Amino acid sequence: MANKSRYLAGAAGAVLLAAATAYTGSWEGNSYTAYLDSGGVPTICKGHTGPEVHLGMKATPAECDAMLRADILAHERRMLACAPELQTVSDKTYIAINDWAFNVGTGAACESTLIKVKLRKGDIRGACEQLSRWVFVKGEVIKGLTNRRVTGTPGRVSERALCLAGL
């Protein structure tokens, strides 16, 4: 399974993809009209970005659902390319780290201490603890990122807590 997406690996993969989609979707929110996110990036639906996204762009609920699934799978493939160690962690830890990578971008994720130092050396707890550091945009602490990464909100567990729950 080293070269195959965990999300595409049979029935278990379908369940994992559904769980990841629900988790990430709950934190991303949803907008059927493109907007600028807190970093100034044109975004639509549940966190979809890309060269085709422009202000004023519109999407249907079905298009947004399809974009999210495709985005999660694309992020997962990029993450497994830079961090094959993700294949060895629990599903909860896997979903938490992939959600974080979805949110910060795989380029930043793959170059992070979380991946390069902690995960690659087998320090899964240390990798989970690193999530607490990713709460800034342009040097400012963002409450929504603090909620997503560290504190959670009623009915939603933080990435850090989900990651640690998988240990």
Residues marked as catalytic: 28, 37
Do residues 149 and 132 touch, judged by C-beta distance below 8 A? yes
Q: What is the secondary structure of 47-102 as a DSSP string?
A: TB-STT--TT-B--HHHHHHHHHHHHHHHHHHHHHH-GGGGGS-HHHHHHHHHHHH
Work out the number of other CB atoms within 10 angstroms of the CB of residue 54.
9
Instruction: Tell me the C-alpha distance between 46 and 36, whole Å.
Output: 13
Residue carrying structure tokens 């595409």: 8
In terms of Cα–Cα distance, which of 150, 109, 55 is closest to 142?
150
82-106 exposure pattern, b = at least 16 Cβ within 10 A, e = fewer: bbebbeebeebbbbbbbbbbbbbeb
